Amino acid sequence: MIEKLEQLCELVLHEVDEAQDLKTVNDLRVTYLGKKSPIQELSQEMRNLSIEEKKVFGKTLNEVTTKLNNAIEEKRSVLEAIELNNKLESESIDISLPATKVNLGTPNILERIIEEIEELLISMGYDVVDGPEIEEDRFNFELLNIPKGHPARDAQDTFYLEDEKILLRSQTSPVQARVMLENKGQKPIRMICPGKTYRRDNDDATHSHQFMQIEGLLVDKNVSLSDLKGTIDVIVKKLFGETIETRFRPSYYQFTEPSVEVDISCFNCHGDGCNICKSSGWITVAGAGIVHPNVLRNCGYNPEEWTGFAFGFGAERLAMLKYGINDIRVFYSTDLRELKTFDRKDND
């Protein structure tokens, strides 16, 4: 029996030695040292031996089991180390390789124009306010002196949501009414409101059903047209350069009286004649005027006591002029290549 045991031991040691992977080693343990292994079978037979034989066989059995256990453990740690090394090698990261380039985003051109105007007007004491894009007819039209049935509504046809009472605002001017009502006819106001506006227009190179305006309102005592002109002049000089001049042309808006169209001298040809100014030397950039007494009254301000001016720039129009874009649809096509074109370092 002892001989059998020793032969078995030799065989197992040999197989352990030959084993190439951890699974084989584990299998060997189960096969030769597990419950139904030949070693267990031999130990079962021990009960048929005499006491003396038992002693000798028991000792050998212990030695063999320990030897095999040790051999298996040793082999296992060797194979584990090899496996770990292989893994480390195959998954290693070469830190000397150049890093993956992170693509930096580009500020949206419209946002850039808006921020430029905001920064300037904040420095002049204006607040930047927000208004809802889903607006009531009352604010978008009625309080602004555009009653139901007024022909001026045709030019500002928009998207109606509920009973013609709730609509997508066609201009940012309703925010004037909201801010005046909030101040309850008591306090002077200086505010600008940049934001999205909507009209039922068919999209083409110069029209978009969605666009952005930058509204301005100042309400105080003794405000005059020259205050408006001075303010507009500072804005357009900031946007287009110090040599730019401002011209007011008479116009008509329902919420201002008098109303004006704001033209700037052509930054491209300086009056020599070019496509941008259609050879007139002047480019229209905004609508503006002195707040109509009806609007002041509608919004809780006494027109005998208070006066104000208001203006509205089209953000896309400013951006198109400034960056030489000839199609308004570029802003809403979400084509990153277009937006990247305008990632000019000199404007950062």
Q: What does the binding site for ligand DAH look like in residue numbers (CB under 6 A)? A: 171, 173, 215, 253, 256, 287-289, 310-312
Preceding peptide of 38 cis, ω within 30°? no
Q: Considering the complex, what minimum distance in angstroms separates the CB of residue 230 from ligand DAH?
A: 16
Preceding peptide of 258 cis, ω within 30°? yes
The end-to-end CA distance of the chain, in Å, is: 91
Q: Considering the complex, what minimum distance in angstroms separates the CB of residue 284 from ligand DAH?
A: 11
Bridge pairing between strands 189-198 and 210-220:
antiparallel
Q: Considering the complex, what minimum distance in angstroms separates the CB of residue 345 from ligand DAH?
A: 33
Q: Considering the complex, what minimum distance in angstroms separates the CB of residue 221 from ligand DAH?
A: 19
* Type of residue at 322: K
Nearer to ligand DAH, 311 or 331 (CB): 311
- The residue sitting closest to ligand DAH, measured at its beta carbon, is 312
Nearer to ligand DAH, 62 or 206 (CB): 206
Q: Which two tokens stand for residue 123?
A: 């420095």
Nearer to ligand DAH, 42 or 236 (CB): 236
Cβ–Cβ under 8 Å, residues 196 and 314: no
For residue 259, the cross-strand partners are 251, 289
Q: Considering the complex, what minimum distance in angstroms separates the CB of residue 186 from ligand DAH?
A: 22
Please calculate the CA angle 319-321-323 and round it to the nearest 5 degrees. 65
Nearer to ligand DAH, 251 or 268 (CB): 251
Nearer to ligand DAH, 37 or 256 (CB): 256
Helices (H), 204-335: 225-240, 293-298, 315-323
